[in-house]
Structure 1
Amino acid sequence: MTGIDEMDGVRRLLAEPPEPSPEASAKAFAKLADEMSGGRSRTSRAGRPWFARPLGLGAGLVAAGAAAAVAIAVTGPGTSGSPGARGTATPPEKVDLNKQAVLAAAAKAALMPTGKYWYTDQVSGQSYIVRPKTGAYAVVGAHSEFFQWSGARKGMGEAFFGRDIPARPLTPKDEALWRRAGSPSAFRVWSNDHYYTYDRHVSKWDADRPDAQGGGRWLGDGDAGLTVDDLQNLPTDPASLTARFLKGASGPDPRRIERTLAQKQREPVPADPNARAARAAAIQSLQNDLEKAEQAQREDPHGSRAKVMDAEEVMMELPLPPAVRAGLMRALAAQPGVRAIGPVTDPLGRKGTALAAADTTTEVTGEFGAPAAEQGSYTSHEEIMFDPATGELLGSRDVLDRPGGAYRSQPPGFVINYWLVRSSGWTDAKPKPPAKLPF
């Protein structure tokens, strides 16, 4: 597949998709016939997984509509068709609904994964500021890599692995300042309300709860997750996907906090000094919570940050069919408060495009012991990043807008934290965690 084909496919992610090629339709019908005859064999596509990077964009397949066939954009290496020109809808009086139902089934069959196992390899990191006399610089600590795989069906197995990867300077400028400071191998920073030291060691992959009889479900424990069949039956239209996945649960409701505060203020003042002090502290805490909740509602009234994070979780944790993923991208782009931003480069150096949520404020006080250098407020926004050539998810990050607090010395655009998809996909061989480090 050429780069032109891939770019054409991505452009169609945000528009109405094309009709299928004759080859793609034939393959879909053949696959459907095999399913209807009870066949269980799947034709190998030269061992190439559907979702593994690099991901190409392939042909469309027809699904049923109330009055005419609706084309579904499908991505995945190994599809043999090429994009076709947009056709004219069949007049309603000539629609054969039985045929449309068959076409819908064919589309679902053609979207089934060709691999036996799905895997995802993800990297996360948090930025901290180190402040030696030679000049402050940023490092990435809490640096971890996670690898998870699952069989397509229950009984094929599943496993989760994790490893620590080296803390490192965030940017080339930070690396120069780190070298000026003597290239220390450990960094003592304020993290989660206490001091913690991150270093440059690498741990071995550690398996957590491997289950040889598991597999076949995602985004849920036991029988609560979604199966491959559930995933293939997900809607592709943005409205349905919004209702299903983009809940956008926002922060605390100011009205509820107000009611709790009023109730606490109506309580009799205790005679005991300790109880009186506890009541005053509780009232002050509720007043602080109310102020933060009201500010969050002003800054992000539509819950765009939560919706972006909803989309991140779904796209990272589920092996979504390409048409569903495309619909979810369109759904997120249409949400109030979500905006598209220009070219971005993720921490792995990959070029991308991104959708960003509204700017929101974070304030750190000394309530839990934070030193003065860590206190203050800043604003940031959540970004979800995609490969513009394939539409594939690259990951997410929290990006500084207004410097302040621990990041007062950093410029807008500073990456506060990130969670990246190093690679993911379907494969016929049981996946193994990579030996090579991501950085």
Structure 2
Amino acid sequence: MDERNGHPADELDAVRAVFSRPGPSPEAVAAGRDRLLAEAAAVPIAPPERPGRRPAAGTRTPEDAVASGRWPGRRDPAGSRVRRWAPAGRGLAGVAAAAALALAMTLPSDAPIRLAPDQAGTAPATPGSDRPDARQILLAAASATAGEPAGGAYWRTRVVTGQRILSPDRRYVIARRSTRETWLTRQDGRQDRWAGRYLGAGPATPRDEAAWRAAGSPGTWRYPADVTGLGRVTPEALVEAAPGEPRSGPHRVGWRDADGILTKQLTGWKALGTIPDDPARLRAYLVARIARENGAYVGREMEAELRKTCLEIISRLPVSPELRAAAYRILASLPGMTAEGQVTDPLGRTGQALTYQVVEDGRLSDRRLVIDPASGLPLAEETSSAATLAGGQDTQVGSFVAFEAIGWTDEEPMH
């Protein structure tokens, strides 16, 4: 008996067979829900697992309850096949798995699966809804990403970045975008490469366009030295409406990101291989790195830094699927994230949204992470904060990074 993503193949085939059946009647749905609740009430729920602590015998964790299910899928960028998320449980044995399978058999084929209750401090789903909460989404993403390819000739990342900024006169909002692709390799005879293009800028909404026309329809905007409250724009920057020419060349800084903890330094391939992929050991490793870099944070400050660093691992570092899955599991253990349901990201793709808040430059900023539950990979990271136009109207400024491609490939750079 072979295994797929750590689950016996015959068990997965059984779940797929269940999902292929036509939807049951409303009476069957109600009866199945009653049986599920009766089964679940008879089994105690374990508290969240902590490093070095295992649940007591006879209890079940939220992960044990996720034996089968379906998520609203999205189209794969390379085609039109809709993928289902991988099971996140530990097999179909036991009461919890039997209850989950009973639910799968009684729910209509297009109904979302309501998973185990939240146990980790992340904000729960709205009472009475079938929408999964933040912990459940993150644990499902951990399971799904574990099945991604573990190696290739290049680590490729293609992103679209964007900003919403106030015009220098604060009369309207400008949206601008750029694209960038990097190909990183550790193989001899190959070279890291990059390519990118500035995609242009213009009024963000029809209301902003009207204010822009009233201002003379400028094609460039020169910013002052003080850009406080204008959004993420460099002091004295010149922002142009026209797109730039495509550019490319050798890439010499690896995955460096001055805003990161792990990515702030020019970490080498060998150092990446020493990062533990066990969630408990990874958390201890990250806490030590954060404390060494920024001081011994406590409470929510450390939790915020852990979240930020886990997102670095998931979206920016060429690491193993197991390490990305461990980062997702740490995120699932942290409080402060709220599931917002299915949304559309800045590139028009659908995914599951998780929101949280951070303090940035002394101001409270809203963040949103959009995840593709089919693959467990991030679609976009977005930030927004309040701003005020010259006429006193409230508006929003912010930025986003949308991931068009992320992962290992054997394809050669096209540039």
TM bucket, shorter chain: 0.5 to 0.7
In the alignment, which of 86, 90, 112 is matched to residue 92 of structure 2? 86
Amino acid at match of 1:420: A
Instruction: Give the CA deviation at 1:347.
Output: 2.0
Amino acid at match of 1:349: G
After superposition, the Cα gap between the structure-2 partners of 1:345 and 1:352, relative to the gap in structure 1 and judged at 3 Å, is same
**Residue of structure 1 in register with 2:179 after alignment:** 145
Instruction: Give the CA deviation at 1:349.
Output: 2.2
Among the aligned pairs, what percent are the same residue?
A: 28
The residue matched to 2:357 in structure 1 has which SS? coil
The C-alpha deviation readout for 1:260-284, integer Å capped at 9, x for no partner, is xxxxxxxxxxxxxxxxxxxxxxxxx
**Residue of structure 2 in register with 1:367 after alignment:** none
Query: Is residue 416 of structure 1 aligned with residue 398 of structure 2?
Result: yes
The residue matched to 2:393 in structure 1 has which SS? coil
Query: Is residue 162 of structure 1 aligned with residue 213 of structure 2?
Result: no
How far, CA to CA, are the matches of 1:341 and 1:407 in structure 2?
Answer: 32
Instruction: Give the CA deviation at 1:119.
Output: 0.9
After superposition, the Cα gap between the structure-2 partners of 1:197 and 1:403, relative to the gap in structure 1 and judged at 3 Å, is closer
Aligned ranges 1:33-112 → 2 under 5 Å: 56=83, 85-87=91-93
The structure carrying a bigger helix percent of its residues is 1
Instruction: Give the CA deviation at 1:423.
Output: 1.9
Query: Is residue 382 of structure 1 aligned with residue 367 of structure 2?
Result: yes
The C-alpha deviation readout for 1:79-134, integer Å capped at 9, x for no partner, is xxxx995347xxxxxxxxxxxxxxxxxxxx997646432211122233221266xx
**Residue of structure 2 in register with 1:348 after alignment:** 347
Aligned ranges 1:323-362 → 2 under 5 Å: 323-360=322-359, 362=361
Instruction: Give the CA deviation at 1:19.
Output: 1.0
The C-alpha deviation readout for 1:203-247, integer Å capped at 9, x for no partner, is 333334357xx99999779994236x965x865543333334465
Q: Conserved in 1, the CA contact under 8 Å of 2:254 and 2:266?
A: no
The residue matched to 1:309 in structure 2 has which SS? helix
Amino acid at match of 1:424: I
**Residue of structure 2 in register with 1:122 after alignment:** 159
Please identify the structure whose Cα radius of gyration is greater: 1
The C-alpha deviation readout for 1:325-367, integer Å capped at 9, x for no partner, is 233223113224444444443322223333334343645xxxx
Q: Conserved in 2, the CA contact under 8 Å of 1:123 and 1:145?
A: yes
How far, CA to CA, are the matches of 1:251 and 1:116 in structure 2?
Answer: 32
Q: Conserved in 1, the CA contact under 8 Å of 2:379 and 2:404?
A: yes
Instruction: Give the CA deviation at 1:166.
Output: 0.6
**TM-score w.r.t. length of structure 2:** 0.53
Query: Is residue 396 of structure 1 aligned with residue 381 of structure 2?
Result: yes
Aligned ranges 1:181-196 → 2 under 5 Å: 181-190=215-224, 191=227, 194-196=235-237
The C-alpha deviation readout for 1:46-104, integer Å capped at 9, x for no partner, is xxxxx9767956778xxxxxxxxxxxx6xxxxxxxxx995347xxxxxxxxxxxxxxxx
In the alignment, which of 21, 28, 53 is matched to residue 9 of structure 2? 21
**Residue of structure 2 in register with 1:316 after alignment:** 315
* Structure 2 residues without counterparts, runs of 5 or longer: 13-75, 95-145, 228-232
Q: Conserved in 2, the CA contact under 8 Å of 1:139 and 1:169?
A: yes
How far, CA to CA, are the matches of 2:390 and 2:333 in structure 1?
Answer: 33
Number of residue equivalences: 286
Q: Conserved in 1, the CA contact under 8 Å of 2:7 and 2:91?
A: yes
How far, CA to CA, are the matches of 1:145 and 1:120 in structure 2?
Answer: 11
**Residue of structure 1 in register with 2:65 after alignment:** none
**Residue of structure 2 in register with 1:199 after alignment:** 240
Amino acid at match of 2:92: R
**Residue of structure 2 in register with 1:43 after alignment:** none
How far, CA to CA, are the matches of 1:216 and 1:130 in structure 2?
Answer: 32
Q: Conserved in 2, the CA contact under 8 Å of 1:245 and 1:314?
A: no
The residue matched to 2:308 in structure 1 has which SS? helix
How far, CA to CA, are the matches of 1:136 and 1:222 in structure 2?
Answer: 39
The residue matched to 1:202 in structure 2 has which SS? coil
Q: Conserved in 2, the CA contact under 8 Å of 1:308 and 1:357?
A: no
Q: Conserved in 2, the CA contact under 8 Å of 1:403 and 1:410?
A: yes
After superposition, the Cα gap between the structure-2 partners of 1:321 and 1:358, relative to the gap in structure 1 and judged at 3 Å, is same
The residue matched to 1:301 in structure 2 has which SS? helix
Instruction: Give the CA deviation at 1:22.
Output: 6.4
The residue matched to 1:328 in structure 2 has which SS? helix
My pick for the range that moved more, 240-249 or 148-157, is 240-249
Instruction: Give the CA deviation at 1:173.
Output: 4.1
Q: Conserved in 2, the CA contact under 8 Å of 1:157 and 1:215?
A: no
Amino acid at match of 1:392: L
Instruction: Give the CA deviation at 1:137.
Output: 1.8
**TM-score w.r.t. length of structure 1:** 0.51
The residue matched to 2:300 in structure 1 has which SS? coil
**Residue of structure 2 in register with 1:429 after alignment:** 411
How far, CA to CA, are the matches of 2:355 and 2:323 in structure 1?
Answer: 20
Instruction: Give the CA deviation at 1:193.
Output: 6.9
